[in-house]
């Protein structure tokens, strides 16, 4: 069985409730395609290595 890792990057002004909705949305996508979500982690606010759309933190 192949294992894949995905990272969701959201803007820093995204609320915890919105983050939970995003996580659930993408978990459902994986499960609908006969996949399993083994573990989810919230890494919190991090500094980006380079600016993406005029944002330094995500």
The answer to whether position 17 is within a domain reads yes
Per-residue pLDDT of the chain (58 residues; tens, 9 = 90+): 788 898 888 888 889 999 999 999 999 999 999 999 999 999 888 888 888 888 887 6
The answer to whether position 49 is within a domain reads yes
The answer to whether position 40 is within a domain reads no
The answer to whether position 24 is within a domain reads yes
The answer to whether position 51 is within a domain reads yes
The answer to whether position 38 is within a domain reads no
The total number of structural domains that make up the chain: 1
37 in Cβ contact with 27 (< 8 Å): yes
| pTM score | 0.73
The answer to whether position 2 is within a domain reads no
* 18 Cβ neighbours under 8 A, 6+ residues apart: 10
The parent domain of residue 50 ranges over 10-33+45-58
CA 56, CA 49: separation in Å to the nearest integer? Answer: 8
């Amino acid at each position: 069985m192949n294992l894949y890792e995905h990272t969701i990057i959201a803007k820093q002004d995204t609320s915890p409730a919105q983050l939970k909705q995003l996580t659930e949305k993408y978990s459902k996508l994986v499960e609908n395609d006969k996949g399993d979500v083994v573990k989810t982690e919230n890494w919190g606010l991090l500094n980006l290595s380079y600016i993406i759309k005029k944002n330094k933190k995500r």
